A = this chain, B = another copy of it.
Amino acid sequence: MSLVIVGSVAFDTIETPLGRRERIVGGSGTYCSLAASFFTRPRIVAVVGRDFPRRTLAFLRSRRVDLEGLKIKAGKTFHWEGRYETDLNRRTTVRTELNVFADFRPAVPARYAPARIVYLANLDPEHHDLILRQFRRPALLAMDTIRLWIDSRREALLRELRRIDVFFANDEEARLISGEANLVAAGRALLRMGPSLAVVKKGEHGALIFGPDGIFGVLAHPCEHVVDPTGAGDSFAGGFLGHLDRVPRRTAKEIHRAAVYGSVLASFTIEDFGIGRFLTLQPREVEERYRQFRKLSSF
């Protein structure tokens, strides 16, 4: 049981129709590891600046997130600023200050090397190799990406797709990478590009999972007041991979359950700004919502 998450731990400034928050804690690695912490003891590889709040690190530790791979460097923490429109699927990046993340060349602690699952969250695909060389031979290699790399690193991205097992993309990214407008066609095209599992996330509409046994969909939990969609995708990945890390075999059934847990964790994340919801979220709430998903999907 070991999941290593390589991603960003950052500050976000976020504006949604429900308000604005300045420099709150965010980052793909943060969301993903908090979500995964409900299933396993995730290990994180990331970098922050000296300005990063110690109480957040203490909180992550209290949630069983292993921080040996988190480097604290002189300088300022990665800071992203984004704005969501009334249609929460539309988001604009206002500013990106890479800061200490700019020359992030992750050093993976030796203790992490035998990881069973490795997740590369939104990293520059050119850096994957440097990271993966530091692992022995993960049973499952997963990655996510962002529009920036699709536009600027297409070749490296396509190369990385060929060697991974699980690819997470949102609908827009799936369309951009595959060149297919129809999402079902897009998902199938992604499979032909390498991964054995492609997870296409659709925000409020749930997700489609494409794999060797065909396609299945998972719904999103109906949420009337989406406070802040930031981190929903990373939380999905965390719930998904966290569950897969705790089960002995990745059967079709467990992959389905993993996707439902992904949707469950994402549904909590959007209920508050940043990682706010995780501060109080209890395992029994996660299980209760999972059971609700099961109840509502049986007919």
The chain A residues found within 8 Å of chain B, CB to CB, are 86-87, 181-185, 188, 202, 204-206, 208, 214-217, 219-220, 222-226, 253, 256-257, 260, 294, 296-299
Contacts and interface: CB of A to CB of B under 8 A. Distances in A.
B216 A182 contact: no
A225 to B, nearest CB: 7
Contact of A260 (B215, B226, B299): B299
CB-CB nearest 3 A-B residue pairs: A205-B205, A256-B299, A217-B219
A173 to B, nearest CB: 16
Given A217-B219, A297-B297, A183 B208 contact: no
- Quickly give the copy total for this chain: 2
15 contacts: A86-B181, A182-B223, A184-B224, A185-B224, A185-B225, A206-B217, A208-B222, A216-B297, A217-B219, A256-B299, A260-B299, A297-B297, A297-B298, A297-B299, A298-B298
A222 B219 CA distance: 13
Contacts of A185: 224-225
Contacts of A202: 205
Contacts of A226: 182
Contacts of A188: 224
A123 to B, nearest CB: 30
A162 to B, nearest CB: 23
Interface centre among A185, A219, A260 (most CB of B within 10 A): A219
A224 B86 CA distance: 30
A280 to B, nearest CB: 22
Contacts of A205: 202, 205-206
Contacts of A296: 214-217
Given A182-B226, A297-B299, 10 more contacts: A182-B224, A182-B225, A184-B224, A188-B224, A205-B206, A206-B217, A215-B296, A217-B219, A260-B299, A298-B298
A223 B216 CA distance: 12
Contacts of A297: 216, 297-299
Contacts of A220: 217
A152 to B, nearest CB: 25
